[in-house]
Amino acid sequence: MKNIIFSIFIILLFSCNKKEISSETEKQIFESVLVPILDSIQFSVLPPPYNDSIKKIYENDKMLIVIKDSTEILSAEEQIGFLKHYKNTSMDIDSSTVTKINHNLIRIKNLNSHKLSFKLTDRKYIFKFYSELKENKLNDNEKFFCGELGLSNIKLDNSKEKGVFSISYNCCEKNKCGNGWIVYLKNTNGKWKIDKIIPTWIS
């Protein structure tokens, strides 16, 4: 146990010198795994009259997914949970807060949010960034969805073979309903695939 804590401590100390994931790699990962993730997860039940609308959308294989323009922050606890899950994996930890390990407070690199940029096409979903909704009005057949999908920054392990990020969904009535998930990824033969999706919260 002491060796594990010491290893994490060393990783935290040296994280400031490491570069974050490239925009191109982030783009490739989201374009590879986001649709399969949405097919796998279930949104929390929305209050009436949205229930019937959502049911109708699924029946018609159409659903508008509104994505926040900038990344959310993957917490240090979520990153440490990733390292505990993959016991032989090493990864530099980024955090926007003070992290407590073995009763010691450690202030780590402050990770900033950044703008997302990727394109997705699928017969089941229509994808729009929030900024696109401001610039262009929705078509009549798109006025059925209320809420936003938030994506965190993606963290890769030092071997670039595994990764982790979080997803959050909040309906239009803030704090009324929502879900959160943590997603573990694996790079298999040069292609990023979902390894595990873990529900983290529901409201």
Cα–Cα nearest to 106, from 95, 120, 121, 90: 95
Closest Cα partner for 156 from 34, 22, 21? 21
Is the pTM for the entire model greater than 0.85?
no
- Cis amide prior to 49 (ω within 30 degrees): yes
Which stretch of DSSP H or E encloses residue 67? strand 63-67
CB contact set of 156 (below 8 Å; sequence gap of 6+): 21, 25, 91, 162, 163
Model confidence over 62-84: pLDDT tens digits? 677 888 898 888 888 898 899 99
SS3 of the chain: helix, strand, coil, percent, to 5? 30, 30, 40
Comparing C-alpha atoms, which of 190, 164, 199 is closest to residue 81?
164
Summarize pLDDT for 143-156 with one digit per residue, the tens: 455 568 899 999 99
Q: Which helix (H) or strand (E) segment is 7 a member of?
A: helix 2-14
**Has residue 9 got a pLDDT over 70?**
no
